[in-house]
Amino acid sequence: MIDDSLKICTVCASNNNRSMESHKQLQDAGYNVKSFGTGSAVRLPGPSQDKPNVYEFGTPYEDIYNDLMNQSARKMYEANGLIHMLDRNRHVKRAPEKWHNNKYAGKFDLVITCEERCFDSVLEDLMYRTYSKNDDGDYDVKTLVHVINVDIKDDNENAIIGGKGILKLVNMIHEFRRKKIEDGGDPSEHILEDQMTKILTQWQTEHVHLPTLYSVTYY
Protein backbone atom coordinates (compact mmCIF):
# COMPACT_ATOMS: atom_id res chain seq x y z
CA MET A 1 0.00 0.00 0.00
CA ILE A 2 1.16 3.55 -0.72
CA ASP A 3 2.62 5.07 2.47
CA ASP A 4 0.93 8.45 2.22
CA SER A 5 -2.42 7.19 0.94
CA LEU A 6 -5.49 9.04 2.10
CA LYS A 7 -8.25 6.87 3.49
CA ILE A 8 -10.56 6.56 0.50
CA CYS A 9 -13.89 4.92 -0.18
CA THR A 10 -15.95 4.56 -3.32
CA VAL A 11 -19.73 4.45 -3.21
CA CYS A 12 -22.43 3.44 -5.66
CA ALA A 13 -25.96 2.08 -5.20
CA SER A 14 -25.32 -1.67 -4.87
CA ASN A 15 -21.56 -1.82 -4.29
CA ASN A 16 -21.18 -4.15 -7.22
CA ASN A 17 -20.35 -2.44 -10.45
CA ARG A 18 -19.10 1.18 -10.41
CA SER A 19 -17.82 1.39 -6.83
CA MET A 20 -16.23 -2.07 -7.12
CA GLU A 21 -14.50 -1.33 -10.42
CA SER A 22 -12.97 1.85 -8.99
CA HIS A 23 -12.25 0.03 -5.72
CA LYS A 24 -10.24 -2.53 -7.68
CA GLN A 25 -8.39 0.07 -9.74
CA LEU A 26 -7.48 2.13 -6.67
CA GLN A 27 -6.50 -0.96 -4.73
CA ASP A 28 -4.31 -2.20 -7.58
CA ALA A 29 -2.63 1.22 -7.62
CA GLY A 30 -1.81 0.78 -3.92
CA TYR A 31 -4.34 3.09 -2.29
CA ASN A 32 -6.06 2.51 1.05
CA VAL A 33 -9.59 1.99 -0.20
CA LYS A 34 -12.95 0.53 0.77
CA SER A 35 -16.30 0.58 -1.03
CA PHE A 36 -19.98 0.76 -0.11
CA GLY A 37 -23.49 0.96 -1.51
CA THR A 38 -26.20 3.45 -0.52
CA GLY A 39 -29.21 1.46 -1.78
CA SER A 40 -31.64 -0.32 0.51
CA ALA A 41 -30.50 -3.65 -0.95
CA VAL A 42 -28.21 -5.06 -3.60
CA ARG A 43 -30.16 -5.01 -6.87
CA LEU A 44 -28.72 -6.77 -9.89
CA PRO A 45 -30.33 -7.28 -13.29
CA GLY A 46 -32.65 -10.32 -13.45
CA PRO A 47 -34.11 -12.34 -16.28
CA SER A 48 -36.38 -9.36 -17.08
CA GLN A 49 -36.56 -5.68 -16.10
CA ASP A 50 -39.36 -6.26 -13.58
CA LYS A 51 -37.61 -9.23 -11.99
CA PRO A 52 -34.26 -7.99 -10.59
CA ASN A 53 -32.07 -10.17 -8.42
CA VAL A 54 -32.23 -8.66 -4.94
CA TYR A 55 -29.84 -9.55 -2.09
CA GLU A 56 -29.19 -8.23 1.36
CA PHE A 57 -26.02 -6.19 1.84
CA GLY A 58 -23.52 -8.57 3.38
CA THR A 59 -24.41 -11.45 1.08
CA PRO A 60 -21.01 -12.74 -0.14
CA TYR A 61 -20.21 -12.10 -3.79
CA GLU A 62 -19.37 -15.78 -3.98
CA ASP A 63 -22.94 -16.69 -2.98
CA ILE A 64 -24.42 -14.22 -5.45
CA TYR A 65 -22.12 -15.55 -8.14
CA ASN A 66 -23.19 -19.13 -7.45
CA ASP A 67 -26.83 -18.13 -7.32
CA LEU A 68 -26.67 -16.48 -10.73
CA MET A 69 -24.70 -19.37 -12.19
CA ASN A 70 -27.47 -21.71 -11.09
CA GLN A 71 -30.25 -19.66 -12.64
CA SER A 72 -31.73 -20.49 -16.03
CA ALA A 73 -30.73 -17.03 -17.30
CA ARG A 74 -27.04 -17.78 -16.70
CA LYS A 75 -26.17 -17.36 -20.39
CA MET A 76 -27.74 -13.94 -20.36
CA TYR A 77 -25.77 -12.97 -17.22
CA GLU A 78 -22.58 -14.11 -18.87
CA ALA A 79 -23.43 -12.13 -21.97
CA ASN A 80 -24.25 -8.92 -20.16
CA GLY A 81 -21.10 -9.06 -18.02
CA LEU A 82 -22.82 -9.78 -14.70
CA ILE A 83 -20.92 -13.00 -14.08
CA HIS A 84 -17.63 -11.38 -14.97
CA MET A 85 -18.41 -8.50 -12.59
CA LEU A 86 -19.13 -10.83 -9.67
CA ASP A 87 -16.07 -12.89 -10.43
CA ARG A 88 -14.00 -9.71 -10.20
CA ASN A 89 -15.75 -8.61 -7.01
CA ARG A 90 -15.22 -11.86 -5.11
CA HIS A 91 -11.48 -11.42 -5.66
CA VAL A 92 -11.55 -7.85 -4.30
CA LYS A 93 -13.54 -8.34 -1.08
CA ARG A 94 -16.02 -10.73 0.51
CA ALA A 95 -19.40 -9.01 0.27
CA PRO A 96 -21.19 -5.78 -0.71
CA GLU A 97 -21.34 -3.36 2.25
CA LYS A 98 -23.95 -0.77 3.08
CA TRP A 99 -22.73 2.81 3.47
CA HIS A 100 -25.10 3.54 6.33
CA ASN A 101 -23.63 0.75 8.47
CA ASN A 102 -19.97 1.51 7.88
CA LYS A 103 -19.08 3.01 11.25
CA TYR A 104 -16.82 0.04 11.92
CA ALA A 105 -14.65 1.10 8.98
CA GLY A 106 -13.60 4.34 10.70
CA LYS A 107 -13.49 7.75 9.09
CA PHE A 108 -12.45 8.43 5.51
CA ASP A 109 -10.59 11.42 4.12
CA LEU A 110 -12.08 11.11 0.68
CA VAL A 111 -15.44 9.65 -0.31
CA ILE A 112 -16.04 9.23 -4.04
CA THR A 113 -19.59 8.50 -5.09
CA CYS A 114 -20.50 7.32 -8.56
CA GLU A 115 -24.02 8.67 -8.90
CA GLU A 116 -25.74 11.92 -7.87
CA ARG A 117 -28.32 10.22 -5.68
CA CYS A 118 -25.51 8.36 -3.89
CA PHE A 119 -23.79 11.71 -3.31
CA ASP A 120 -27.02 13.10 -1.83
CA SER A 121 -27.48 9.99 0.27
CA VAL A 122 -23.95 10.17 1.70
CA LEU A 123 -24.34 13.86 2.58
CA GLU A 124 -27.72 13.34 4.21
CA ASP A 125 -26.45 10.36 6.14
CA LEU A 126 -23.46 12.29 7.45
CA MET A 127 -25.76 15.14 8.52
CA TYR A 128 -28.03 12.64 10.23
CA ARG A 129 -25.14 10.91 11.98
CA THR A 130 -23.95 14.24 13.40
CA TYR A 131 -27.20 15.61 14.74
CA SER A 132 -28.65 12.34 15.96
CA LYS A 133 -25.62 11.42 17.99
CA ASN A 134 -26.25 11.31 21.73
CA ASP A 135 -23.91 12.97 24.16
CA ASP A 136 -20.80 10.89 23.72
CA GLY A 137 -18.91 12.12 26.75
CA ASP A 138 -17.15 14.64 24.50
CA TYR A 139 -14.76 12.06 23.13
CA ASP A 140 -15.69 12.37 19.50
CA VAL A 141 -14.20 15.21 17.50
CA LYS A 142 -15.61 15.57 14.02
CA THR A 143 -13.30 15.03 11.10
CA LEU A 144 -13.38 16.84 7.79
CA VAL A 145 -14.15 14.71 4.74
CA HIS A 146 -14.19 15.58 1.05
CA VAL A 147 -17.14 14.04 -0.79
CA ILE A 148 -16.79 13.99 -4.58
CA ASN A 149 -19.29 12.61 -7.02
CA VAL A 150 -18.15 11.34 -10.40
CA ASP A 151 -21.26 10.50 -12.34
CA ILE A 152 -20.81 7.15 -14.08
CA LYS A 153 -23.39 5.30 -16.17
CA ASP A 154 -24.16 1.91 -14.63
CA ASP A 155 -22.75 -0.48 -17.21
CA ASN A 156 -19.52 -2.44 -17.62
CA GLU A 157 -17.83 -0.21 -20.13
CA ASN A 158 -18.62 3.05 -18.32
CA ALA A 159 -17.66 1.56 -14.97
CA ILE A 160 -14.16 0.92 -16.37
CA ILE A 161 -13.92 4.40 -17.90
CA GLY A 162 -15.22 5.94 -14.67
CA GLY A 163 -12.81 3.84 -12.60
CA LYS A 164 -9.89 5.13 -14.66
CA GLY A 165 -11.12 8.68 -14.22
CA ILE A 166 -11.40 8.23 -10.46
CA LEU A 167 -7.89 6.77 -10.30
CA LYS A 168 -6.58 9.77 -12.22
CA LEU A 169 -8.33 12.14 -9.83
CA VAL A 170 -6.98 10.34 -6.77
CA ASN A 171 -3.51 10.37 -8.31
CA MET A 172 -3.77 14.11 -8.92
CA ILE A 173 -4.79 14.72 -5.31
CA HIS A 174 -1.90 12.64 -3.99
CA GLU A 175 0.60 14.22 -6.35
CA PHE A 176 -0.55 17.63 -5.16
CA ARG A 177 0.01 16.61 -1.55
CA ARG A 178 3.52 15.44 -2.33
CA LYS A 179 4.58 18.75 -3.86
CA LYS A 180 7.30 20.43 -1.87
CA ILE A 181 6.80 23.98 -0.67
CA GLU A 182 9.18 26.31 -2.44
CA ASP A 183 10.71 29.34 -0.78
CA GLY A 184 8.86 32.55 -1.35
CA GLY A 185 5.63 30.99 -2.63
CA ASP A 186 2.24 31.43 -1.03
CA PRO A 187 1.76 28.49 1.40
CA SER A 188 -1.91 28.50 0.41
CA GLU A 189 -0.89 26.99 -2.92
CA HIS A 190 0.11 23.83 -1.06
CA ILE A 191 -3.00 23.40 1.05
CA LEU A 192 -5.27 20.71 -0.33
CA GLU A 193 -8.50 22.33 0.80
CA ASP A 194 -7.48 25.62 -0.83
CA GLN A 195 -6.67 23.98 -4.14
CA MET A 196 -9.33 21.26 -4.25
CA THR A 197 -11.66 23.09 -6.63
CA LYS A 198 -8.71 23.89 -8.90
CA ILE A 199 -7.74 20.21 -8.99
CA LEU A 200 -11.35 19.23 -9.69
CA THR A 201 -11.64 21.82 -12.45
CA GLN A 202 -8.46 20.63 -14.08
CA TRP A 203 -9.66 17.04 -13.88
CA GLN A 204 -13.12 17.98 -15.15
CA THR A 205 -11.72 19.71 -18.24
CA GLU A 206 -10.05 16.41 -19.15
CA HIS A 207 -13.15 14.34 -18.27
CA VAL A 208 -16.08 16.39 -19.52
CA HIS A 209 -18.29 13.30 -19.79
CA LEU A 210 -17.89 12.42 -16.13
CA PRO A 211 -19.75 15.29 -14.41
CA THR A 212 -18.71 16.04 -10.85
CA LEU A 213 -20.21 17.28 -7.59
CA TYR A 214 -18.30 18.23 -4.47
CA SER A 215 -18.87 19.00 -0.82
CA VAL A 216 -16.85 19.41 2.33
CA THR A 217 -18.54 17.74 5.25
CA TYR A 218 -17.78 16.27 8.66
CA TYR A 219 -18.42 13.16 10.69
Sites of contact with another protein (CB under 8 A) = 116, 119-120, 123-124, 126-128, 130-135, 137-142, 144, 151, 184, 186-188, 191-194, 196-198, 200-201, 204-205, 208-209, 211-218
Half-sphere exposure of 114 (CA within 13 A, CB side): 34
Task: Report which secondary-structure segment, H or E, holds 143.
Answer: none
What is the SS3 assignment for 183? coil
Cβ at position 182, least distance to another protein in Å: 14
Please name the residues in contact with 45: beta carbons below 8 A apart, sequence gap of 6 or more.
52, 53, 77, 80, 82
Contacts of 202 (CB under 8 A, 6+ apart): 172
CB closer to another protein, 53 vs 195: 195
Of 86 and 118, which has the nearer Cβ to another protein? 118
Residue 1 or 208: the one with the smaller Cβ distance to another protein is 208
Q: CA torsion angle for 17, 60, 35, 104 (degrees, to 10)?
A: 160
Question: Shortest Cβ distance from residue 87 to another protein (Å)?
Answer: 32
What's the min distance (Å) between Cβ of 21 and another protein? Answer: 21
Q: Which is nearer to another protein, 86 or 126 (CB)?
A: 126
